[in-house]
Structure 1
Amino acid sequence: MQGLEHIRHFRAANPGYMTLEGTNQYLLGREAITVVDVALPSPENIDGILEQVEAMGGKKIEKILLTHVHKDHCGGALALKKRSGAKLGISRLRAGYLGGEDFAYSEGDTIDYDGGRLQVVHTPGHESGHCCFYEASHQILFTGDHILGRGTTVIPPPDGDMAQYLGSLEKLLELKLRRLLPGHGPVVEDPYGKIKEYIDHRLMRERAVLQALREGHHTIPTMVEVIYTDTPAALHPVAQYSVEAHLRKLVHEGRVEKAGERYSITPRGS
């Protein structure tokens, strides 16, 4: 990566609607390499990571860090640990999830790598244990699925939480940032613009949900049809997750009420 010679990435061969071109698996360090996220357990993916380690002058993989426990980010972690002998880390909130972790981390913890130090930034919303990793000396942030290089992140209930997600986005504005290195898509060169874009997008969707309710659309599928008119129908089931997440937030705030599968706006939400 230009200006970041000690950081490389190997993209997993798992392209799709949700993963874009595939999951970005990052490698950082000089001789002892730290890997952030391992998507696939396939020999092709593990070999590709190990070849990238050799190409950057690395002698071994020392640590594996996971942004979160969705399969497209942790699915190959145990396989890489077995091949490389690396120590595997995971959010303390997810300790034991994979069954082979060596250490756990939480908000504010620091993790040294060969050439620098990462700070753990707990960013719940997409997933309750989601963590970003901040490299202060280069002012970069490994964002996992919290922020993507293109498009927006799905917030899948019940573990996904829209109120927490918005709070986690606001939290990033407090960091000194030059670049975001996302779990999917290209590097983000305008971090504050992207963060604000994400916040604005979610608030726009929230207004759209409230407007749909005012217009008499009381179920999640019918709301998706009127809100996501520019989204392919194949993605409507995914859009339902985000609408549900918005509704859960609004119900918690007392602006919407739920009866069975129907939602209605309250006087407070009018």
Structure 2
Amino acid sequence: MIPYVRDIQFEYGACDQVSPLIRRVVADNPGPFTFKGTGTYIVGHGEVAVIDPGPDLPEHLDAILKAVSGERVTHILITHHHSDHSPLAGPLKAATGATIYGCAVAGHEAEDTGEVKMEAGHDHDFRPDLSLCAGGEVSAPGWTMEAIPTPGHTSNHLCYALKEENACFTGDHVMGWSTTVITPPDGDMTDYLRSLEAIRAHNFTTLWPTHGPPIRDVTPFIDAYAEHRQERMDQILGALNAGPARIRDLVPTLYADVDQRLWPAAARSMLAAMIHLARQGKIVAEGEPGPDSEYRLAALNA
């Protein structure tokens, strides 16, 4: 069982000092995929970094600029290109002259459509000024940040480690309020599980997700996160043991305890799990694994 943390105290537009080096301003964009809204983090004093400025909401830009009044924004750090994380980077750069850091997506993946449309969507216009796809370090007086490539939720996802506080800004890679949606083709379960272990290996004291409160008991939480993914895959294998099935048939049963508004997202994560299990040789699909494919246990296909 994942020990979710969902208690977060804030007011929209207000700037809260949440650690010696970290401030947070929450955007007014709550929803089933954003929880209470996008938490934009400001790191440092004097010369500061802004992490995930969020959706292009003029009132949120105003709140960020008010929070850094009298200071200089030198770095804008983006975890990934979803529209609740990166679109405000351009307006914030225009207002401050800061450099945008992140990782561009190699290609323009198609938007999800119809039944499986994701609420957040993609920010196809996102282009960092400087790429951190391979990792790297950025700093200013008083703070040092290491970019950690964490593909999985998206192919270009980055986490940012704040060395002075042994903390990590995890974007959507690890969230306290919910599990992370993995949406193929840009999202990849195999990459995600590998990236999860990479964050676990750092032994951070605190994780700061873009949505929701911080995670303080880090290692047990990540362990539970990984165990949950394995349990979901075991459930898929158990269901397929009864015979071939399609994702649309399995979601209502395997996610019966989940808000139905999240079933389209669950179907995308299940597709990611199917692709992962097919790579492992545990299941097979009719043709290439896809959202409408029929899946069966590999042993039953022999």
TM-score (norm 1): 0.93
The residue identity in structure 1 corresponding to 2:233 is E
Matches within 5 A, 1:6-155: 6-54=21-69, 58-91=70-103, 98=125, 101-155=128-182
State the 1:137 CA deviation.
2.4
Cα distance in 1 for partners of 2:233, 2:208 equals 27
Amino acid at match of 2:272: A
2:75 is paired with a residue whose SS is strand
Aligned: 1:188 with 2:215 = yes
**CA contact 1:254–1:269 (8 Å) conserved in 2:** no
Cα distance between partner residues in 2 of 1:46 and 1:3: 20
Which secondary structure state, in structure 2, belongs to the residue aligned with residue 257 of structure 1?
A: strand
**Residue by residue, what CA displacement relative to the aligned partner does 1:46-72 show, whole Å, maximum 9, x if unpaired?**
001111113xxx512111010011111
User: 1:133·1:141 contact (CA, 8 Å) conserved in 2?
Assistant: yes
Identical positions, percent: 34
Are residues 269 and 181 of structure 1, via their aligned partners in 2, closer, same or farther at CA, if it must alter by over 3 Å?
A: farther
Quick check: 2:184–2:268 contact (8 Å CA) kept in 1? yes
**Partner of residue 204, structure 2:** 177
**Alpha carbons of structure 1 residues 192 and 250: separation in structure 2 relative to 1, 3 Å:** same
Q: Name the structure where helix makes up a greater proportion of residues.
A: 1
SS class of match (1:74): coil
Per-residue deviation, 1:247: 0.2
2:86/2:126 contact within 8 Å kept: no
Aligned residues: 267
Residues 1:205 and 2:232 aligned together: yes
Is this contact kept in 1: 2:17–2:24, CA < 8 A? Answer: no
Q: Is the 8 A contact 1:110 1:118 kept in 2?
A: yes
Shift of 1:101: 3.0
1:3 is displaced (CA, Å) by 7.2
Determine the C-alpha separation between the residues in 1 that align with 2:280 and 2:300.
Answer: 9
Cα distance in 2 for partners of 1:94, 1:60 equals: 31
- Please, which runs of 5 or more residues in structure 2 have no aligned partner? 1-15, 109-123, 288-292
Higher deviation after alignment, 249-258 or 96-105: 96-105
Instruction: Please give the per-residue CA displacement for 1:142-185, whole angstroms capped at 9, x wherever unaligned.
Output: 00000012111100111111011111111112213110000111
Change (3 A) 1:268 1:250: farther
Gaps of 5+ in 1: none
